[in-house]
Amino acid sequence: MATIQDVARDAGVSTATVSRVFSAPELVLETTRHKVMEAVTRLGYEPNFAAKSLRTLRTEKILVTVPDISNPFFSQVIRGVEEAALAAGYSVLLGDTRHEETREEQYAAMFRRKEADGLIFLGHRLPDVLAEMVAAKGPKTPIVNGCEFRPGLAVSSAHIDNERAAAEAVEYLYELGHTRVGAVTGPLASPISSDRLNGVLAAAQRHGRASALRIAIGDFSIESGVRQAGELLDEPGRPTAIFCFSDEMAMGALEAIRQRGLRCPEDVSLVGFDDIRFAQYLYPQLTTVRQPKEQIGHEVVRLLLDILADRTSTLQNVTLPHQLVVRSSTAPPSA
């Protein structure tokens, strides 16, 4: 591949001029610019990224780590990230951590090696090396958290109000007349789960139904939905409504309901979380809490770009709107 030297020689100018044609064309005479561009196309020149990056100390890349890309919720968020990043001239380095700490650390090392200008993590853990970095550099550290919010991490973030969203979901169930409600959570280590659980508990208490509330702990996967919802359904005093902390688990719950010869919503109402693309095409169409997935992606990029452009000096924790989308998987309990 041709270098800037080749172009300079071919065009009969210095490398500085060639460089300027790309980064500050207004400083270069129209005619020379033409000469240079001709040489560029003739030689098929593209500026070498590593060289540019070394000199400028910028990569124009954003590293995004996600617990599981094959999860449609995350892939929608990433889509938003990718879109906003591209619009700002950044590209996305993707890291699938598979919920594994070692992988999170590998990607943390990449970030420290300056393979990306900023880091967006969609999980709830921040590897130690990065936590140190945050402690040292404060709110100007180009690290942003998406979907989750853990105040102790001291990074900016964009997310919904998980506690309120979950509370609204079960409140809706109580208002329909359900009294025995079950909830299938995600791993409680993540705020996304514990916050939602708090919301569920608070709502149950407000309605005086705390003692009839049943909790099962899942891991957001379809399979855990089948299993945990199944256990709830098999207990004496079967719940008439189940709230799953993800749509995938709700899909699993639907399966568990069918396996037991029960019907949704006649026998068991079901509420999911996220509103992934598939939720409205399930049978019955799933009532769920919509998260503004692409918007979270956009917002998280905006926060990061603000830090990178030095436009901000304080932490920002942005709460985006959620919405309970009522479809056909919920109904009043049958008499």
Partner DNA sequence: CGCTCCGATGTAATCGAAATCATCGATAAC
Partner DNA sequence: GTTATCGATGATTTCGATTACATCGGAGCG
- Interface residues with DNA (CB under 7 A) are 3-5, 12-20, 22-23, 27-29, 31-32, 45-48, 51-52, 54-57
From the list a second copy, DNA, none, pick the one residue 137 interacts with, judged by a Cβ distance below 5 to 8 Å according to partner type: none
**Nearest-approach distance from CB 102 to DNA, in angstroms:** 22
From the list DNA, a second copy, none, pick the one residue 224 interacts with, judged by a Cβ distance below 5 to 8 Å according to partner type: none
**Nearest-approach distance from CB 34 to DNA, in angstroms:** 10
- Of the candidates 146, 286, 300, 171, the one whose C-alpha atom is nearest the C-alpha of residue 225 is 286
Question: Phi and psi dihedrals of 143, rounded to 5?
Answer: -130, 130
Question: Smaller CB distance to DNA: residue 39 or 203?
Answer: 39
- Give the pair of three-digit tokens for residue 161: 């109000």
Question: Smaller CB distance to DNA: residue 3 or 280?
Answer: 3
Q: How far apart are the first and last CA of the chain?
A: 76
Strands 214-217 and 181-185 turn out to be parallel
- Of the candidates 132, 121, 130, the one whose C-alpha atom is nearest the C-alpha of residue 93 is 121
Percent composition of the chain: helix, strand, coil (DSSP 3-state, to 5): 50, 15, 35
Candidates 24-32, 77-85, 265-273, 313-321: pick the segment binding a second copy (CB under 8 A).
Answer: 77-85
SS (H, E, C) 127-193: CHHHHHHHHHHHHHCCEEEECCCCHHHCCEEEEECHHHHHHHHHHHHHHHCCCCEEEEECCCCCHHH
Candidates 43-51, 139-147, 234-242, 312-320: pick the segment binding a second copy (CB under 8 A).
Answer: 43-51
From the list a second copy, DNA, none, pick the one residue 216 interacts with, judged by a Cβ distance below 5 to 8 Å according to partner type: none
Task: Round to whole Å and give the CA distance between 200 and 181.
Answer: 10
The answer to whether 70 contacts a second copy (rule: CB under 8 A) is yes
**Nearest-approach distance from CB 38 to a second copy, in angstroms:** 17
- Give the pair of three-digit tokens for residue 52: 């540019």
- Give the pair of three-digit tokens for residue 65: 């780590």
The answer to whether 79 contacts a second copy (rule: CB under 8 A) is yes
Among 14, 23, 91, 334, binds a second copy (CB under 8 A): 91
Task: Round to whole Å and give the CA distance between 225 and 233.
Answer: 12
From the list a second copy, DNA, none, pick the one residue 20 interacts with, judged by a Cβ distance below 5 to 8 Å according to partner type: DNA
Question: Smaller CB distance to a second copy: residue 18 or 78?
Answer: 78
Strands 91-96 and 143-146 turn out to be unpaired
The answer to whether 41 contacts a second copy (rule: CB under 8 A) is no
Strands 323-325 and 287-290 turn out to be antiparallel
The answer to whether 170 contacts a second copy (rule: CB under 8 A) is no
Among 15, 37, 43, 72, binds a second copy (CB under 8 A): 72
Identify residues 99-118 at the interface with a second copy (CB under 8 A): 103, 106, 109-110, 112-115
**Nearest-approach distance from CB 130 to DNA, in angstroms:** 18
- Give the pair of three-digit tokens for residue 219: 């891991």
Residues near a second copy, by CB under 8 A: 1, 44, 46-51, 53-54, 57, 59, 61, 69-72, 75-76, 78-79, 82, 86, 91-96, 103, 106, 109-110, 112-115, 129, 132, 222, 251-252, 254-255, 258, 277-278, 281-283
